[in-house]
Structure 1
Amino acid sequence: MKTIEKVHIIPLGFERSVAVKPIRVLGGVRAHVITIGGKFAEKYELHEKQRYFERAVVADLEKLGLEVKVHYADLFDFRMAVGAIAEVVVEEKSAGSEVYLNLSSHGRLVSVASALVGWYHGVRMFYVFAERYARDEEEERMYGRSVCEKPVIFEIPSLEFVKLSEEERYAISLIYSQREHGKDYMKLRDLSERLEIQFPHIYSFSGEGRRKGQELLNKVNRRVVSRLEARGLIEKEKVGRNVILMLTKLGEFFALLG
């Protein structure tokens, strides 16, 4: 029987104790630290300070016996923060892990991004109440900006979030992926063909030629396109003989949520 692994996701700012101390209480086998580093490091001042906290937290977690993985992202870019956190959440949920997301280990903007990802994917989230703030640089290096000796952990209540069907999520991700090819749209016909390949049990039709193609388009319109359009996630436009689909700003956000 497979053991369920408890995994922590820690978007990290200038914090240490609020990132590490809760894990002493909650336990875990693995931690993902998401922070500003790598190619994003020199974009901001104080990147050396961030590097210090990254190394300190990784060392502290490894002393607790956790496997630690570090991921770099520009966490001051809200969309990138959402995407980076969601990517790790989806990876661990797909592996069957019990996921915990720390909302207190970074600033307010990233906490909002984390909460949205956590609510959407239904993972456990918590906030750690600090006893006080660090009084000087020495204390900050030891504890981070928030001093936490005995963690008081508040688990964030779950909320019902608008959930998309597997077909809808796949369609949004396909349209979003067109950016890799320098486009911000996808032809309805191309999307329909990809859905037919991905979901043959749903989009399987007898016959061939134009009639089969029209049946496929009608079903994709009914099951996917009309619903996404009604929710304000995509826009549809006729260009010549083609119908093209584009994501709205809200649709892009759902694509990042994964």
Structure 2
Amino acid sequence: MPATQIVFVGHHKERLIESIRALRDLPTSRIILFVGEENLPGEARVRRIAKEIKEELEIIWEVEIHKIDKRNIIKAASQLIEIIRNEKHLGREVVINASGSLRTLAIAGYIAACVTSSKIFTSIPRYNEKEEEVGIEEIIEVPTLPVDFPGEEQMEIISSIGSGVESLDELILRINPGMNKGSSEFRRERSRLSHHLAKLEDAGLIRKEKHGRNVRIVLTPLGRFLLEGAVYGKEVDEKKAVLEEVR
């Protein structure tokens, strides 16, 4: 399977190039270099380095430069998940190379790797007797942890909230279209959802906003991020099931 390397560009050009080449055992066919969206201090240099790396490596591989949020870790992780999802849909394995990144991007990359079951690597620099960096001592794979998603009932609630609901009653009807508001079943559903919403709020996945008499329910950035990861995981499971059926 062809592989795409996701590479976070920093100020260490030679380290990055060496780390990309150190992963030569992978069937890399495509490299995506990430630079910052905002004009942060030092970002102009990062973008110059990205262009130089692109020019040097596109003789061998397909190379693209993308932008990413360097300040917001959850947003950056979501951006990465979307890219990884697209690459895997095209039949490519995805490897994250965090050898030259800011800590924020390394963390975002690790989260994205855990959610999408992708591999992530970093490098240990090599120094000379003058303590000057002269290359890479070793490139290592960072073990990822399985992501423990909320239960099926809670994921259904998160998915139903989507871009937000104006009230608990609206959420009940989204999950149970046609349910009679005056029924005992509706009251039981209200109690059930209230219980789960309290847990989701404690976990930082939803937020309640009072608007007049209604209490609007919205997903937090973490909730949206989790939903994206869950959708991705479901798609992967469905594809695996199809493959098993074909076999």
Question: What TM-score do you get using the length of structure 2 for normalisation?
Answer: 0.68
Moved over 6 A (4+): none
Cα offset, 1:174, TM superposition: 7.1
Range with greater deviation from structure 2 (51-60 or 227-236): 227-236
1:180-227 deviation digits (Å, cap 9, x = unpaired): xxxxx7533444555x4xxxxxx57xx664349938954982796355
Q: Which has the higher contact order (CA 8 A, sep 6+)?
A: 1
8 Å CA contact 1:17–1:146 kept in 2: the answer is no
**Corresponding residue for residue 145 of structure 2:** 159
Number of residue pairs the alignment of both structures matches? 221
For 1:101, the aligned partner's letter is I
Contact 1:120 1:162 in 2 (8 A): no
The aligned counterpart of 1:125 is 120
Deviations 1:93-118 (A, max 9, x none): 45553221112121222212222222
Q: In the alignment, what sits opposite 2:45?
A: 49
- Tell me the distance in 2 between the aligned counterparts of 1:18 and 1:166: 44
Conservation of the 8 A alpha-carbon contact between 1:5 and 1:29: yes
Of 217, 221, 225 in structure 2, the residue corresponding to residue 245 of structure 1 is: 217
1:165-204 matches, cutoff 5 A: 168=154, 172=158, 177=163, 186-194=166-174, 196=175
8 A Cα contact 2:6 2:33, kept in partner: yes
Q: In structure 2, give the amino acid aligned to 1:26.
A: L
> Distance in 1 between the 2:179 and 2:155 partners?
28
Q: Please state whether the residue corresponding to 2:34 is helix, strand or coil.
A: strand
1:62 aligns with 2:58: yes
1:221 maps onto 2:193 in alignment: yes
Q: 1:64/1:190 Cα in 2 relative to 1: closer, same or farther (>3 Å)?
A: farther
* 2:54 alignment partner AA: V
Gaps of 5+ in 1: 136-144, 179-184, 197-202
Partner residue of 1:31? Answer: 31
Query: Helix, strand or coil for the counterpart of 2:140?
Result: strand
Shift, 1:242, TM fit? 3.5
Q: Which amino acid aligns with 2:59?
A: K
The one-character-per-residue Cα deviations of 1:138-157 (angstroms, maximum 9, x if unpaired) are xxxxxxx9643x66221111
Q: Which of these residues, 103, 109, 123, is aligned with residue 108 of structure 1?
A: 103
Identity of aligned residues (%): 24
Structure 2 equivalent of residue 13 of structure 1: 10
Once the two structures are superposed, residues 80-104 of structure 1 have per-residue CA deviations (whole angstroms, 9 ceiling, x without a partner) of 4333223223333455532211121
Distance 1:237 1:50, change over 3 A: closer
**Which 5+ residue runs of structure 2 have no aligned equivalent?**
229-247
The 3-state SS of whatever aligns with 1:159 is coil
- Are residue 256 (structure 1) and residue 242 (structure 2) matched? no
Taking the aligned partners of 2:9 and 2:156, their CA distance within structure 1 comes to: 30
Structure 1 pair 32–218 and aligned structure 2 pair: CA distance change class (3 A): farther
Deviation, 1:35, is 0.9
Q: Where does residue 242 of structure 2 map in the other structure?
A: none
- 1-structure distance, mates of 2:84, 2:198: 29
Cα distance in 2 for residues equivalent to 1:96 and 1:215: 47
